Amino acid sequence: MFLIMRRIFPSLPVASVLIGFAGQPAILVLPPALTALYVLLRDRIIRRKVGQAAWPSDGFARHVLVDDLALLLCLTLLGLPLFFAGVMLRQYLLA
């Protein structure tokens, strides 16, 4: 469950470059939004599995959520310059 995020997060910058290369700024928010939805759903699954366990288990679920959301925020902010890099690459190749 935790290892899938290692595969999703590196794809976000690549998606920003590809969206910029395609020239579609309207769908720039789609990859981070879908990733945030997945992170929040995964948090609910983790908390459901914790059930009536002690507070440290709930603390671990909070730690995972905050860590994933912080990384998602950083990658989303990094996506905007990468989007413009994709746009410039498209203009360079079409010229």
Are the C-beta atoms of residues 13 and 81 closer than 8 Å to each other? no
Q: Residue 43's Cα: distance from chain center in Å?
A: 14
Indicate the length of the chain as a whole number: 95
Q: In which element (H, E) is residue 9 found?
A: none
pLDDT tens string 17-72: 999 999 999 999 999 999 999 988 988 887 787 766 666 677 777 888 888 889 99
pLDDT tens string 10-31: 899 999 999 999 999 999 999 9
Spell out the domain ranges in the chain.
15-94
Q: The whole model's pTM is what? A: 0.82
Q: Is the pLDDT of residue 76 over 80?
A: yes
Q: Which two tokens stand for residue 8?
A: 């999703």
CA distance 3 to 65: 14
Q: Which two tokens stand for residue 41?
A: 């759903």
Residue of 79, 70, 72, 75 lying closest to 27 (CA atoms): 79
Residue of 66, 82, 89, 92 lying closest to 31 (CA atoms): 82
